């Protein structure tokens, strides 16, 4: 499929990407400075655990010389503010790359067929990190579970990218990849939601903390909606540049909201780390 984008639109999208890149970089540098200087920000380092079975050689009532027991071991403290700054800086680098004339020629060519590989690469990396953040916030602190969630977020976005690549090749929409990507990432969000609803200390779950989960779900749903409307060529979503701006603005607003929610929540004491409370 060809979106027949007007030549003058490429200059506008280039300036648009430059503005977004500057916005990401400005916030990323600010958050990096906050992570290094502001004590209320830099002390937020929830614990990451490794869970494994260990043979306990103590006395056992079952007559055995020992028994298996689940063991938790602290692996590392996770500097959340630093991770958020990395998310913003990665997105900034990608948007600045799109301004480069050598890269932008390939980018512009792909846009005419409805493909943007850079978008899905950005989403794959950055949403993996933000999903891990939200998971840790509600008590998922085992490194194995978090690696699994990161893999889910990454693979889900790659499936959406594969759908666009295949449509570029033959013009057909492969809904299978869309459905599988939706189910996979939807399952990850459901897992976090269940942790949030069924934790043993609901009194520590603040509205600010719940807001992070709502923001994550809202971004996921809006991305799905834009993708469906784009594939169906509905309303203004027939315009490739409108679609590109819709994707980009949604992601920018989401990451910006995420950043400032964390910053305000950390300073106000509205974020209580479930990873430490429930450990």
Q: In degrees rounded to 5, what are phi and psi of residue 164?
A: -70, -40
In a domain, 65, yes or no: no
Closest CA to 213 of 184, 180, 191, 246: 191
Q: In degrees rounded to 5, what are phi and psi of residue 73?
A: -130, 130
| CB of 60 closer than 8 Å to CB of 235 | no
| CB of 49 closer than 8 Å to CB of 12 | no
In a domain, 238, yes or no: yes
In a domain, 59, yes or no: no
Q: Specify which residues 69 forms β-bridges with.
A: 54
DSSP state of 262: H
In a domain, 40, yes or no: yes
Q: Is 1 helix (H, G, I), strand (E, B) or coil?
A: coil
| Region of 4 on the Ramachandran plot (φ > 0 left; ψ -120 to 50 alpha; else beta) | left
In a domain, 63, yes or no: no
Q: In degrees rounded to 5, what are phi and psi of residue 145?
A: -65, -40
Give residue 165's pLDDT. Answer: 92
Rounded distance between C-alpha atoms, residue 25 and residue 99, angstroms: 14
| CB of 102 closer than 8 Å to CB of 76 | no
Most confident of 2-11, 183-192, 262-271: 183-192
Q: Specify which residues 103 forms β-bridges with.
A: none
In a domain, 67, yes or no: no
Total domain count, the chain? 1
- Residues 163-200 have pLDDT tens digits of 999 988 888 889 999 999 999 999 999 888 887 776 65
The answer, yes or no, to whether residue 233 has pLDDT greater than 80, is yes
- Considering the entire predicted model, what is its pTM? 0.87
| CB of 73 closer than 8 Å to CB of 53 | no
Percent of the chain with pLDDT over 70: 86
Residue tagged 């027991």 (tokens): 69
Where residue 236 sits, what CATH number does that domain have? Answer: 1.20.1070.10
Q: How confident is the model at residue 15 (pLDDT cuts 50, 70, 90)?
A: very high
The answer, yes or no, to whether residue 278 has pLDDT greater than 50, is no
Q: How confident is the model at residue 279 (pLDDT cuts 50, 70, 90)?
A: very low
Residue tagged 């033959």 (tokens): 170
Lowest mean per-residue pLDDT among 134-143, 148-157, 160-169: 134-143
Other Cβ atoms within 10 Å of 117 Cβ, number:
14
Percent of the chain with pLDDT over 90: 46
* DSSP strands (E only) in the chain: 47-56, 67-77
Q: How confident is the model at residue 274 (pLDDT cuts 50, 70, 90)?
A: very low
In a domain, 64, yes or no: no
| CB of 156 closer than 8 Å to CB of 185 | yes
- Residues 196-227 have pLDDT tens digits of 776 655 555 567 778 888 999 999 999 999 99
Q: Which domain holds residue 98?
A: 7-49+79-277
């Amino acid at each position: 499929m060809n979106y027949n984008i007007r030549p003058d639109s490429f200059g506008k999208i280039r300036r648009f990407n430059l503005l977004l890149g500057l916005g990401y970089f400005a916030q990323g540098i600010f958050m990096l400075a906050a992570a290094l200087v502001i004590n209320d920000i830099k002390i937020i380092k929830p614990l990451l655990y490794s869970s494994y079975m260990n043979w306990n050689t103590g006395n056992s009532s079952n007559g055995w010389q020992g028994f298996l027991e689940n063991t938790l071991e602290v692996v590392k403290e996770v500097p959340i503010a630093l991770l958020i700054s990395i998310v913003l800086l990665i997105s900034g680098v990608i948007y600045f790359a799109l301004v480069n004339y050598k890269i932008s020629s390939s980018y512009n060519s792909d846009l005419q067929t409805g493909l943007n590989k850079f978008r899905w690469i950005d989403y794959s990396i950055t949403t993996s990190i933000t999903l891990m953040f939200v998971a840790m916030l509600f008590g998922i602190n085992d490194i194995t579970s978090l690696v699994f969630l990161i893999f889910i977020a990454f693979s889900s976005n790659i499936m959406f990218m594969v759908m666009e690549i295949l449509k570029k090749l033959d013009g057909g929409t492969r809904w299978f990849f869309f459905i599988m990507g939706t189910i996979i990432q939807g399952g990850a969000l459901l897992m976090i939601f269940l942790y949030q609803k069924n934790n043993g200390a609901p009194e520590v779950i603040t509205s600010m903390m719940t807001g992070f989960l709502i923001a994550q779900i809202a971004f996921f749903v809006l991305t799905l909606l834009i993708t469906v409307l784009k594939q169906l060529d509905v309303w203004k979503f027939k315009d490739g540049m409108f679609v590109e701006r819709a994707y980009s603005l949604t992601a920018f607003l989401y990451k910006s909201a995420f950043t400032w929610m964390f910053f305000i929540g950390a300073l106000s004491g509205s974020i209580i780390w479930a990873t430490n409370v429930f450990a």
